[in-house]
């Protein structure tokens, strides 16, 4: 297929390259920061409207709701081009409620629309092993499926309503954030109480508390290894979306609000650009524990 791909950042660039490797022709925005490997294999066009005109399917992988709105409906956005017969797949993580509005406006122009946010981070994007959560009509999902298989391993059609995929992604981000919060609290508790947090983690991995977050991110917490795979600031944004949707629908999310405060504390310590495992820095600071960065370990002060 002829694919337009808008949003070629840390995850979008490898996702687009995986589509190229699957035999699809690519058109991408021409910008100075475009990775050289992608520039070598894609047509570089000046605007989203030009990309839509040259493509059968347009995929978006953008940071936030306003970015998607601008690409869809801003000056020279997708909606400025003829959209009849095209498929728009938004793989960004944005507001479920805004997604419903965007989808209604795009489908009114004659296109199909899917929201298909992803989980798996940079490694998942590079290895084409992403989990992809899709909302939208069955016919659009069937049309998109070969493309989704080129980028991901676990692909679930959450439901036929626009926004269903974004609801699932918000639930995913709630789960991951609360696992990060639990791991951080457990390790900081151990360190502050005078036990070796590395050995505590080792023991927990053999029991019912074991999780992927405890396996991977708790190790990063112990090592102070916060080079980003998924940044604190982005996870903070995702929780903002979940909390805003919860408020709009009258759903209390107390645990999510607590994790969001730990992210806020980490941002205040300068950690917004670090991996979301750096949430431990906010938890540790409140307990008088030092969380090292890129060469440190989780250090405790003596119990009082």
Q: What residues are labeled active site? A: 169
Q: Which two tokens stand for residue 74?
A: 């801003």
The Cα 209–Cα 223 span in angstroms is: 20
Q: Which two tokens stand for residue 262?
A: 């730990």
The Cα 170–Cα 99 span in angstroms is: 13
CB atoms within 10 A of CB 209: 13
DSSP 3-state assignment of 242? Answer: helix
CB atoms within 10 A of CB 155: 18
Spell out where 109-253 has E strands: 112-115, 118-119, 130-135, 152-159
CB atoms within 10 A of CB 50: 18
Asked whether 134 and 144 are in contact (CB, 8 A), the reply is yes
The closest alpha carbon to 291, from 280, 302, 277, 303, belongs to 280
The Cα 204–Cα 160 span in angstroms is: 40
What are the φ/ψ torsions at residue 10 (nearest 5 degrees)? -60, -30
Could you tell me the CA-to-CA distances from 283 to 72, 105, 133, 217, 255 in Å, in that order? 39, 43, 31, 14, 14
- Residue 211 per-residue DSSP state: -
Q: Which two tokens stand for residue 146?
A: 């070969």
Is the alpha carbon torsion for 99, 67, 106, 86 positive or negative?
negative
């Amino acid at each position: 297929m002829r694919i337009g791909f808008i949003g070629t950042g840390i995850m979008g660039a490898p996702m687009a390259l995986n589509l190229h490797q699957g035999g699809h022709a690519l058109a991408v925005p021409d910008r100075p920061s475009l990775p050289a490997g992608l520039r070598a294999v894609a047509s570089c066009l000046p605007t989203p409207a030009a990309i839509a005109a040259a493509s059968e399917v347009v995929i978006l992988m953008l940071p936030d709701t306003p970015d998607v709105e601008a690409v869809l409906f801003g000056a020279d956005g997708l909606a400025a081009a003829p959209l009849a017969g095209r498929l728009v797949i938004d793989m960004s993580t944005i507001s479920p409620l805004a997604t419903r509005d965007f989808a209604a406006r795009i489908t009114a122009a004659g296109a199909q629309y899917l929201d298909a946010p992803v989980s798996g981070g940079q490694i998942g994007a590079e290895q084409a092993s992403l989990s992809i959560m899709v909302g939208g009509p069955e016919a659009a999902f069937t049309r998109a499926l070969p493309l989704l298989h080129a980028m991901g391993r676990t692909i679930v059609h959450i439901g036929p309503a626009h926004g269903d995929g974004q609801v699932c992604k918000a639930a995913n981000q709630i789960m991951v954030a609360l696992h990060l919060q639990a791991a951080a609290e457990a390790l900081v508790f151990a360190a502050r109480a005078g036990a070796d947090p590395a050995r505590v983690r080792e023991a927990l991995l053999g029991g019912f508390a074991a999780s992927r977050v405890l396996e991977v991110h708790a190790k990063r917490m112990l090592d102070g290894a916060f080079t980003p795979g998924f940044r604190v600031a982005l996870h903070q944004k995702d929780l903002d979306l979940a909390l805003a949707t919860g408020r709009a629908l009258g759903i209390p999310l107390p645990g999510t609000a607590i994790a969001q405060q730990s992210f806020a504390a980490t941002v205040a310590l300068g950690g917004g650009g670090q991996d979301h495992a750096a949430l431990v820095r906010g938890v540790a600071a409140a307990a008088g524990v030092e969380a090292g960065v890129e060469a440190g370990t989780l250090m405790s002060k003596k119990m009082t």
